[in-house]
Amino acid sequence: VFLVDASDSIGTELREDQLAYIQNAVQDKPIDDEWAIIVFGANASIDTPFSNIEDVPLIQSNIVSSNTNISEAIQTGISLFPADARRRIVILSDGIETIGNAEAKARLAQASGVEISYVTFARGATSDVRVAEFTSPARVNEGQDFDINIAIESDTATSATLLVYSDNTLIIEEPVTLREGISNYTLTQTSDQTGFLNFSAQILVDGDGDTFTQNNTLGTFSQVVGQPRVLLVRDDENEVSNLVPALEGAGLQVDVIAPANLPPDTGALAVYQSVIIANVEARALTDRQQLRLQSYVRDLGGGLVFVGGPESYGPGGYFQTPLEAMLPVETQIRDQQRLPRLTIAYLVDSSGSMATMATDGIFTNLQLAQRAVNLSIDFLQPTDRAAVLTFDANGALVSPFQDVEEGTQLQTDVNSLSAGGGTDILAGLQTAERFMINEETDRRHLILITDGGAPPLQLVDTAESMNADYGITLSVIAIGNSQPPFLSQMATSAGGNYHAVTNAAEIPNILAQETVLATRSYIEEGVQSVNIVSNNPMTDGISAPPDLLGYVATTPRDTAQVVLTGPTPFSDPLLATWQYGLGRTVAFTSDATGRWAQNWIGWEDFSRFWGQVVNYSITENAGNNIETSVNMQDGIAQISVDARSEEGAFLNNLTLQASILGPDNTAESIVLQQTAPGEYQADFAPEIEGSYYLAINGGGIVNNEILSFNEITGWVMSYSPEYIQTAPNQALLTDLADITGGGNLADNPADTFITTQAPRTATAPIWQWMLISVLILLPIDIAIRRIIITRRDLRRFSMWVRGIDPNAAPEQRISSLMAARDRARARTGAGERDGSAITALRRTKERRAGESDTPANSTDVISPDTRTSPQPRRPRPVDSPPSDSLGTVGNLLKRRRTDDEDDEN
């Protein structure tokens, strides 16, 4: 087996030389000898299975080339060998092992009778520049100056440019002159804000004097400790004009941003202890932003405070979004009795232009419209009524008005739509009107989804008359960049809403929002009393909150804690919280402005209330009692946590787990096991270079005291040792060969198939064949023991083979014999003599009986008298009459009976 090193330390430049060596080795081999190729880097792959051909194919396997694992390659080679062959491994490598233990596998090869030889392949002398070390303090205080240290190693003197980033923002760009060896640089920074500082250093080399670019970047972390820092997301400044001073007055650092600026990466959110979203509609946040926010709370233990308003919760289109899944309340009202019965019709444009691919490049405009209708139907109550209509050059009813119930038929019907034809909005509008005017529900609402492109004649007038005459409201969702003005006029004149959508992916959220607004029951306005219904730190020191002027109705989740409720009879939640993953989320269903919280703004506890709400969302940090470190070896990262009390005593029997968030925003959770007093460890296998966030959480009872821990720390996975330029490790290859009795085959490819090993034998299990033999022979054995075959059976079988019916044969023989008897009697008169003899015998018997004193009862003579006599008879043996007296037929029958008896015996 040839082990071909394809790692980055060798590169692709030597691939042809490796294959050429294998070709030279196999072209003169003995005809029966076989060979195989295994390609390896960080992993191993069988590229060519065993063969005795003399042509070597090109390498086809794709392996991870960022490390060299000779150990796994040897193990794979050992497993590939057959048992009954002399076996040799030839390693074609530079011997630079970065993971694994090749010497241990070599000893396994020795025990298995496998010889290891080698051929050294290595790059020529090259120059390389790399960031050898980049460090910063693990923890600094807010406002403190600190140093970050960079060590750059170069094989030759050269010029370069040093770049330093802080949280992906370039803070230093400086030309540097590198000498041969290590050049050290120290940069002073000031920690002006709390949270994590994620630094990365990059060196750009002038010219071509750099072998690897993978080792030109390195990162480090620092955690700034100080006042809690929170991020406030708002779409309108007026929504937070009173909230920001209240939070700052409670001792919080507040950064205010628009929804579009919410970081799409979880790592960028880790600098904040909590995120506050104030009256932002769902369509203002992308799915990516919501998913990253979800990971920030669930996996890193961040906090989330969701503040209401007319564009939040259900009216904001948050139904079935990632953010809704985080909240302690559902955006849908489950109490059907409090909602008016709604009739809603979906008028979907299915003209040819709707087949245009949407901006996401995945779905067409029509497909997104279909998804939006399906989502809207899910939001409806079972007692609501709905219908689906469409139009191209004509209007048509796709699914008639019906109770929603489960809505599956409606969704099936809307999914059947296909794009094609012209665009006549008026035809669709008139069709919808014709069917809707017969509906007798409290609310009737029509939603038009179109990309325009129709004449405006009578559209606005028709929409206005539908609303004036029949109370039908109309909302328009217009897809595209340049929409005609009559679409917005239609919505305005019919008492509905107009939505101009340039990104068709927003349609589902808009339609869910439209469904809520159509009911007009999700926003409760008027004086609303506030009731404290459970104890929670958010209401410490607060006994009588002022009345609110409105809120958004929601449904509390089963495991949520409801702290404040509105007035009866609904008692909707106003303030609720729950644990979501490692973090906490808080839902406040009213707002923090003069719209609904007018009485709260001048309230003396306004700042205290919001400070306590946000601080409660921040999971308590007891990280000062634990220290976390990460060490990586052989591709495995080991997390070590040292837990001690304030006095330095070991904290034992804790239950700790680590939530790990990688550079690609994938999360993993593992449990730490105690390995020594106060020490807990766990392993994980990182695959991507970059920054990792680790949230250590858990606790236990120590000395009757309940302890809890929640610490977030960082770790950077550096580049692989594969990219640290070194000379070939000839010593390792020599040791592997010495252990197994191999050698260096570089100068003698033809010796590859010459071996001094003794021939090997092997055993193979044969129980399968034995079992098959038993299954075949057992029925035969039973047949021999149970079935008796006589000569008569053999004769009958012989007759059957010759085509003679065995059952017909005896009758034919008897007929032949009878015919022969008749012919004999005719010739000789033997029948008359036989009859005379019998008559004479009868007369003699009668005479003797008359002379005797006792009645004749002998059975020697058979007569009608004796056969019917009632006298008792004593049986006695009767001598067989002479053969002459039986006649020819009798003798033949007697012989036949004798033969049958012999056959049976």
pLDDT at 851 over 80: no
pLDDT at 764 over 50: yes
**Calculated CA dihedral for residues 855, 857, 858, 864, nearest 10 degrees:** 110
Q: Provide the pLDDT for residue 626.
A: 85
- When pLDDT is cut at 50, 70 and 90, the band that residue 442 belongs to is confident
C-beta of residue 644 within 8 angstroms of C-beta of residue 631: no
Kindly state the helix (H) or strand (E) to which residue 448 belongs, with its residue range: strand 443-450
* Rounded Cα gap, residues 879 and 857, in angstroms: 16
Q: Provide the pLDDT for residue 108.
A: 95
pLDDT in tens, 483-503: 888 999 999 999 999 988 877
Closest CA to 472 of 576, 343, 581, 640: 343
* Rounded Cα gap, residues 317 and 45, in angstroms: 50
User: Greater confidence, 803 or 732?
Assistant: 732
* Mean pLDDT on 164-186: 92
pLDDT at 901 over 80: no
Concatenating the DSSP letter of every residue in 517-554 gives HHHT-SEEEEEE--EE-S--GGGTT---PPPEEEEE--
pLDDT at 873 over 70: no
* Mean pLDDT on 6-28: 91
Residue in the structure block whose two tokens are 């008559």? 839
Closest CA to 171 of 184, 159, 158, 188: 188
pLDDT at 10 over 60: yes
pLDDT at 856 over 70: no
User: Greater confidence, 904 or 488?
Assistant: 488
Burial 41-68 (b: 16+ CB within 10 A, else e): bbbbbbbbeeeeeeebeebebebbbbbb
pLDDT at 830 over 60: no
C-beta of residue 47 within 8 angstroms of C-beta of residue 76: no
Give residue 400's identity as a one-letter amino acid code. P
pLDDT in tens, 297-355: 999 889 999 999 999 999 998 988 999 999 999 998 887 777 778 899 999 999 998 88
Burial 593-613 (b: 16+ CB within 10 A, else e): bebbbebbeeeebbbbbbbbb
* The two structure tokens encoding residue 742: 């191999």
Kindly state the helix (H) or strand (E) to which residue 344 belongs, with its residue range: strand 342-349
- Highest mean pLDDT among 86-95, 196-205, 478-487, 616-625 belongs to 86-95
pLDDT at 356 over 90: no
Taking CA atoms, 187 is separated from 7, 223, 621, 690, 708, in Å, by 35, 17, 30, 21, 37
Q: Provide the pLDDT for residue 878.
A: 45
* The two structure tokens encoding residue 586: 């808080």
pLDDT at 254 over 50: yes
Coil, strand, or helix at residue 822?
helix
C-beta of residue 281 within 8 angstroms of C-beta of residue 239: no
Q: Provide the pLDDT for residue 644.
A: 87
Q: Provide the pLDDT for residue 481.
A: 74
* Rounded Cα gap, residues 212 and 725, in angstroms: 9
pLDDT at 872 over 60: no
User: Greater confidence, 886 or 209?
Assistant: 209
Concatenating the DSSP letter of every residue in 124-142 gives -S---EEEEEEE--SEEET
Q: Where are the beta strands (DSSP E) in 142-216?
A: 145-154, 158-166, 169-178, 181-190, 195-205
pLDDT at 205 over 70: yes
Judged on CB neighbours under 10 Å (0-12, 13-18, 19+), 234 is buried
Q: Provide the pLDDT for residue 654.
A: 93
pLDDT at 812 over 70: no
pLDDT at 902 over 60: no
Give residue 48's identity as a one-letter amino acid code. T
pLDDT at 459 over 90: yes
Q: Provide the pLDDT for residue 857.
A: 44
Q: Provide the pLDDT for residue 869.
A: 43
Q: Provide the pLDDT for residue 360.
A: 64
Q: Provide the pLDDT for residue 863.
A: 42
* The two structure tokens encoding residue 68: 């060299």
* The two structure tokens encoding residue 147: 């140093």
* Rounded Cα gap, residues 30 and 833, in angstroms: 100
pLDDT at 661 over 80: yes
Lowest pLDDT segment from 29-38, 124-133, 231-240, 794-803: 794-803
Q: Provide the pLDDT for residue 880.
A: 47
- When pLDDT is cut at 50, 70 and 90, the band that residue 773 belongs to is very high
Q: Provide the pLDDT for residue 893.
A: 59
C-beta of residue 148 within 8 angstroms of C-beta of residue 186: yes
* Mean pLDDT on 836-842: 57
pLDDT at 829 over 70: no
* Mean pLDDT on 107-125: 92
Lowest pLDDT segment from 186-190, 268-272, 512-516, 891-895: 891-895
Show Cβ contacts of residue 558 under 8 Å, excluding neighbours closer than 6 positions. Answer: none
Q: Provide the pLDDT for residue 762.
A: 64
* The two structure tokens encoding residue 329: 């309340």
Residue 142 CA to chain centroid, in angstroms? 43
pLDDT in tens, 97-107: 999 999 999 99
* The two structure tokens encoding residue 846: 């009668």
- When pLDDT is cut at 50, 70 and 90, the band that residue 850 belongs to is low
Q: Provide the pLDDT for residue 822.
A: 80
Lowest pLDDT segment from 170-179, 346-355, 698-707, 890-899: 890-899
Show Cβ contacts of residue 291 under 8 Å, excluding neighbours closer than 6 positions. Answer: 322
Q: Provide the pLDDT for residue 222.
A: 87
Rounded to 5 degrees, φ, ψ at 210 are -140, 115
**Calculated CA dihedral for residues 168, 174, 179, 180, nearest 10 degrees:** 20
pLDDT in tens, 783-803: 888 887 778 778 888 888 877
User: Greater confidence, 657 or 870?
Assistant: 657
Q: Provide the pLDDT for residue 519.
A: 66
Rounded to 5 degrees, φ, ψ at 734 are -65, -40
Region of 569 on the Ramachandran plot (φ > 0 left; ψ -120 to 50 alpha; else beta):
alpha
* Mean pLDDT on 849-878: 46
* Rounded Cα gap, residues 268 and 80, in angstroms: 48
pLDDT at 903 over 70: no
Question: Can you give the length of the chain in residues?
Answer: 905
pLDDT at 853 over 70: no
* Mean pLDDT on 711-716: 87
User: Greater confidence, 754 or 88?
Assistant: 88
Local structure of residue 879 (DSSP, 8 states): P
User: Greater confidence, 621 or 176?
Assistant: 176
Show Cβ contacts of residue 247 under 8 Å, excluding neighbours closer than 6 positions. Answer: 230, 232, 254, 276, 607, 610, 611, 614
* The two structure tokens encoding residue 192: 């002006």
pLDDT at 894 over 70: no
Lowest pLDDT segment from 536-550, 555-569, 796-810: 796-810
C-beta of residue 385 within 8 angstroms of C-beta of residue 441: yes
Q: How many CB atoms lie within 10 A of CB 100?
A: 21
pLDDT in tens, 580-592: 998 999 999 999 9
* Rounded Cα gap, residues 82 and 713, in angstroms: 50
Q: What is the mean pLDDT of the chain?
A: 86
* Mean pLDDT on 99-128: 92
Q: Provide the pLDDT for residue 783.
A: 82
pLDDT at 659 over 80: yes
- Highest mean pLDDT among 158-172, 477-491, 516-530, 744-758 belongs to 158-172
Coil, strand, or helix at residue 194?
coil
